[in-house]
Structure 1
Amino acid sequence: MLTHLTLINFALADHLALDIEQGFNVLTGETGAGKSLLLDALSACLGERTDTHYVRYGADKADVTAVFSYQPESAEAHWLTEHELDDDTGEIHLRRVVFATGRSKAWINGRPSSLTELKEIGRLLVQLYSQHSQQQLLEPPYPKHWLDRYSNFADPANAVREAYATWQKNIQQHQAALDAQATRIQRIQTLESQLEELEEVIQTDYRETEQEFDRLSHHEHIMQDCGFSLNVLDEAEQNITQEVASIIRRLESHSGRSEQLSSIYNSLLNAQSEIDDATANLRQFIDRQSFDPERMEQLNATLEIFHRLARKYRTQPEQLKQEYETWQQELEQLHHLEDPETLAEQVEMSYQTFMQKAQHLDEIRRAAAIPLAKQLTEQVKPLALPEAYFEFKFEPLTPANAEGLSAIQLLFTANKGIPPQPLARVASGGELSRIALVMQVMNAEKTEAEVLVFDEIDVGISGGTAEVVGRLLADLAQHVQLLCITHQAQVAAQSDQHLLVKKQQTDPASSTIIDLDEQQRILELARMSGGVEISETTLQHAKQLRQLKFQPT
């Protein structure tokens, strides 16, 4: 339930804090007063798109906070737990800041959050119905979606979509196998030939072969330079090993007299050890080297094979082994390519599964359509449509698709003895608005959200019809919290809380929202009924409207 809203520099609101009550809450006010202010702010907190016009003129940012209460085992409670956002207060604080630069930031219970997270939690908390919702009735998918939603057919409908997707995927795989079958054998033969050609050469490491060949090619120079180095290190009369040892002996007696000399002495000891190791390894390297002309010829032949194959397959010699592995993997996949006949069986099995689920969905839709159309008829009749009649028409889809086996139309007639026709063809604008209102209220009875927002959905109705709508919404508010913008005094009179939006002539202009007491309610209802000039007659009429709120139905 929505308990509190705070608006700071949001559109026409300078600083506005408002407590929202349980039950049926209405917002009224003169045209241009800013009645949509509250709903725009709430939408911002629920992650909807915003822009810079929401920032009050002269301010650098708009700041909105919405506070909701929730039950421990509710869907929103589980969502908060999953996202580690529950704080054991039983409240959800949604905050949105919109900057004049166009950027915005969001928080949930004090933690920075994304707009996606705001929308996720928002869908669990609030359901919004606008005055333009009647246009949905004219869209072909709407009757089916409304039937599924009201009858809780979401799971079987999703099962049909998934089964259809599986069937279509199997069809594509089968066709791909048929297409591949023509070239498969030829490709296998090509790969086998290429693998056979590379099989022997890749047993040799190209880098090691190239390095060994390079070493043999420069054998004479290597031995000359190694001999010279060994002589300087250890075999000459004044060699490096002896000179370093002499230096170490001279510094050893002084190393205890200075920390810096001690460090130098230790470094020289380490250097002496490194030189000794290097000298021993160099001597061992020289002793093991020998020039083998036959080995050099063999290595040269191997390298020529590498380069020839690399040119043939347009790659680098060192990449031939990787190419071999890639071809081998492709060959294995071709050998394991599913047989088209096996895939054809899978296509048939997935088709049968789809048809089974689709037929079940079609049957339960047809069974639910009759009582639902009757219920819709009974709900619409009191709204100045005494001869209203509805029925659902099912027409086979050829071919069947992810939505099922039938296209579903909602047929309507407002006149006795006239056969029902598609709603879009025969319903007037006023009739559409009333039908849309009833369908939305029926949907609202099934929603999991605890807050329902109706934005001027009673446009196009008046008089006794508006009174019936008011009672309809008041009955719904026994189960959920309602927030409704209305121009109809008959609707507003049925509310539990009446909020008046007023524009103030400040500089810049601003709007405020007043929680009306009973006497103020009567004056506002009189204004809504009779206009600017409030007479005793309009006051009496307003009082009578309020008395209807407390009369048993």
Structure 2
Amino acid sequence: MLTHLTLINFALADHLAIDIDQGFNVLTGETGAGKSLLLDALSASLGDRTDTNYVRYGADKADITAVFSYEQHSPEASWLQQHELDDDSGEIHLRRVIFATGRSKAWINGRPSSLSELKELGRLLVQLYSQHSQQQLLEPPYPKHWLDRYSNFAQPAQQVKEAYSNWQQTIRQHQAALDAQASRKQRIATLELQLEELEEVIQLAYKEIEQEFDRLSHHEHIMQDCSYALNTLDEAEQNINQELSVLIRRLESHAGRSEQLAEIHNSILNAQSELEDATANLRQFIDRQSYDPERMEELNAQLEVFHRFARKYRTQPEALNQEYQGWQAELAQLHALEDPETLAEQVELAHQDFLAKAQHLDEIRRAAATPLAKQLTEQVKQLALPEAHFEFKFEPLEQASADGLSFIQLLFTANKGIPAQPLARVASGGELSRIALVMQVMNAEKTEAEVLVFDEIDVGISGGTAEIVGRLLADLAQHVQILCITHQAQVAAQSDQHLLVKKQQTDPASSTIISLEEPQRILELARMTGGVEISETTLQHAKQLRQLKFQPV
């Protein structure tokens, strides 16, 4: 649930902090007051695209913070746990800073986050419906998507997509086998020869051979330098280890007189220990070294083989092993494609698997379509469309697709005795807005998001229809939190919290949001119904609208 929003230098907001209640919240205000301010800020905090217009004039950045509460076993709680962002507060703090230069930064619970993470979490928290959503109804895939979403068919629909993808992949593999028949045998022979040629070489470690050869090549210089180092450290008449021992004895008597001298004494002691270890290791290294001319020749021969094959196959000596593995993989693939008939059987099995899943999806869609169309009809009838009728039409596709076996249309008629036809063909703009509203409310009942935002979706309705819409949203708010921008007093009257957006003629201009108490709510409802001049009649009407909220339906 959204509990708090803070806006600093965001658009018309100078510094605005507002608490959001549970239930049904509406935002109202005069045209141009900035009613979209809160929703724009919320969208920005959830990772939506922003631009420099959101930064208040004269400021160098805009800062938005949104605070949500959540339950311990909710999807958002799981998401936070997976991303190691959970804490014991039971809150989610989303922060977005938009700079006047066009850049932006985001944080989740105080940790810098990417916009993709913000969007991913945002989809679990908030679902947005706008006044333009009715245009989705006219898109061909929408009826199928709406049916699947409302009926919880996401999993079988995804299984059909995966089965279709697998079927198409086996078709491509089978075709590749057929296309490769001519050149396959020649390529197999070439790969087998190359693998046989490199079989012994790749058993050797090029880097180790190269290092050993380099060490033997410089054996004399290495031994000279190591002997000099050993002599200087431990074997010369005045060697470093002896000098250190003398130095330590002389400082030891003064270590108790100064903390700094004590630290110096300990540091030199540690250095002596390190040098003694190094001296022992150096002596051991010298004792184990010997020059072997035969080994030198053997290593040289092995390196020559590596370089010869590297030149032949146009690669680096150290990359021969990787080339060998690549040839092995290619050979295995060619052998797998050796029998097109076997692949043809796999194509048929994949096709049958797809058909089984697609037919099951088609059956459950058809079974769910009739009661869903009936439910949609009953809901829409309440919105001044008493003769409304809906039905789903399933048309078999000429060629099956990842979406299933049928093209699904939503048919509609608003007139008794007139056959239902495709929605896009017969519905007027006003009818579309009401239908979209009902479908969105029905969808919202199924969403996992705990916050639903409706941006002026009641455009095009009024009177008793608006009152019914208000009741629909109020009923929905029994289960989820709702934020709704509205111009309809009948809708606003049904809310639990009424937020008024007001523009202040400061320099520069600014907007503020006020949570209204009951007397103020009555005045705002009267303004919405009666305009600038508020009369006793409009006040009484506003009071009646509020009383309707508390009357049983």
SS at match of 2:385: coil
CA distance in 1, matches of 2:239, 2:473: 102
Cα deviations by residue, 1:275-332 (Å, 9 ceiling, x for unpaired):
9x99999xx96xx989xxxx99xx99x9999999887766789988886776566445
- What is the SS of the residue equivalent to 2:506? coil
Distance in 2 (alpha carbons) for counterparts of 1:251 and 1:512: 82
Q: Determine helix, strand or coil for the equivalent of 1:132.
A: helix
Matched, 1:486 2:486: yes
Is the Cα–Cα contact under 8 Å of residues 337 and 343 in structure 2 kept in the other structure? no
Q: Which structure 2 residues correspond to residues 364-375 of structure 1 after superposition, within 5 A?
A: 364-375=364-375
| Cα 1:185/1:36, change in 2 over 3 Å | same
Point out the more displaced range, 198-207 or 319-328: 198-207
Separation (CA, whole Å) in 1 of partners of 2:321 and 2:70: 63
1:204 & 1:124 partners in 2: Cα distance? Answer: 54
Q: For residues 100-119 of structure 1, what are the structure 2 equivalents within 5 Å?
A: 100-119=100-119
Q: Which moves more between the two structures, 133-142 or 199-208?
A: 199-208
Distance of aligned partners of 1:249 and 1:120 in 2 relative to their CA distance in 1, 3 Å threshold:
closer
Indicate the SS of the match to 1:34.
Answer: coil
1:189 aligns to what?
Answer: 189
Structure 2 residue aligned with 1:125: 125
Structure 2: which amino acid aligns with 1:375? Q
Q: 1:317 to 1:54 in 2, by over 3 A?
A: closer
- Residue identity opposite 2:111 in structure 1: R
Matches within 5 A, 1:9-24: 9-24=9-24
1:352–1:15 Cα change, 3 Å: same
- Flag the 1:125–1:356 CA change in 2: closer, same or farther, 3 A: same
* Residue 383 (structure 1) aligns with: 383
Structure 1 window deviating more from structure 2 (531-540 vs 332-341): it is: 332-341
Residue equivalent to 2:475: 475
Aligned-partner Cα distance in 2 for 1:201–1:479: 70
- Partner SS state of residue 527, structure 2: helix
Seen in structure 2, the aligned counterparts of structure 1 residues 106 and 525 have a Cα distance that, compared at 3 Å, is same
How far the C-alpha of 1:81 sits from its partner, in A, is 2.2
Provide the identity percentage. 80
Distance in 2, matches of 1:392 and 1:425, equals 15
Q: Is the 8 A contact 2:384 2:465 kept in 1?
A: yes
Q: Within 2, Cα distance between the matches of 1:167 and 1:451?
A: 40
**Segment of structure 1 superposing worse, 139-148 or 65-74:** 65-74
Amino acid at match of 1:510: S
User: Distance between the aligned counterparts of 1:279 and 1:90, measured in 2?
Assistant: 67
Residue 29 of structure 1: aligned partner: 29
Distance, in Å, in 1 between the alignment partners of 2:72 and 2:308 is: 74
In 1: Cα distance, 2:158 partner to 2:442 partner: 22
Residues 467-519 of structure 1, C-alpha deviations (whole Å, 9 max, x = no match)? 11111111111221111000011111111111110000000100011111111
Task: Measure the CA separation in 1 of the matches of 2:484 and 2:364.
Answer: 34
For 1:159-174, what aligned pairs fall within 5 Å after superposition? 159-174=159-174
The structure-2 alpha-carbon separation of the partners of 1:503 and 1:186, relative to structure 1 and needing over 3 Å to count, comes to: same
Paired position in structure 1 for 2:455:
455
Q: 1:428 to 1:322 in 2, by over 3 A?
A: closer
What is the aligned partner in structure 2 of residue 82 from structure 1? 82
Alignment of 1:411-450 (within 5 A): 411-450=411-450
8 A contact 2:437–2:458 mirrored in 1: yes
With normalisation by structure 1, the TM-score equals 0.81
Q: Deviations over 1:66-124 (max 9, x none)?
A: 12222222222222222222222222222222122222222222222222222222111
Give the structure 2 partner of residue 360 of structure 1. 360
Q: TM-score, normalization: structure 2?
A: 0.81
Question: Alpha carbon RMSD of aligned pairs, Å?
Answer: 4.1
| Paired AA for residue 27 in structure 2 | L
What pairs up with 1:160-239 in 2 under 5 angstroms? 160-192=160-192
Residues 201, 525 of structure 1: alpha-carbon distance in 2 compared, 3 angstrom cutoff: closer
Report the AA paired with residue 538 of structure 1: T
Deviations 1:412-443 (A, max 9, x none): 00011111110000000000000000000111
5 Å matches for 1:67-78?
A: 67-78=67-78
Larger radius of gyration: 1
Q: Secondary structure at the match of 1:447?
A: coil
For 2:376 and 2:30, the matched residues in 1 are separated by 33
Whether the aligned pair in 1 keeps the contact of 2:27 and 2:485 (CA below 8 Å) is yes
Query: 2:307 & 2:71 partners in 1: Cα distance?
Result: 74
User: 188-197 vs 36-45, which deviates more?
Assistant: 188-197
Does residue 496 of structure 1 match 2:484?
no
What runs of 5+ residues in structure 2 fail to find an aligned partner? Answer: 211-219, 221-227, 249-274
Give the aligned length: 509
Amino acid at match of 2:353: T
Distance 1:258 1:164, change over 3 A: closer
Letter in 2 for 1:504: Q
Conservation of the 8 A alpha-carbon contact between 2:165 and 2:402 = yes
Which segment drifts farther, 143-152 or 90-99? Answer: 90-99
Structure 1 stretch 83-92 or stretch 347-356: which is displaced more?
Answer: 83-92
Q: How does 1:503-514 map to 2 (within 5 A)?
A: 503-514=503-514
The one-letter amino acid paired with 2:342 is: T
Q: CA deviation at 1:259?
A: 6.5
Unaligned runs of 5+ in 1: 211-225, 227-239, 261-266
- CA 309–157 in structure 1, closer or farther in 2 if over 3 Å, else same: closer
Mapping 1:131-146, distance limit 5 Å: 131-146=131-146
Residues in 1 aligned to 2:182 and 2:461: alpha-carbon distance in whole angstroms: 68
Distance 1:257 1:159 in 2: 78
The AA in structure 2 aligned to 1:451 is: V
Distance 1:346-1:259 versus aligned 2 partners, 3 A rule: same
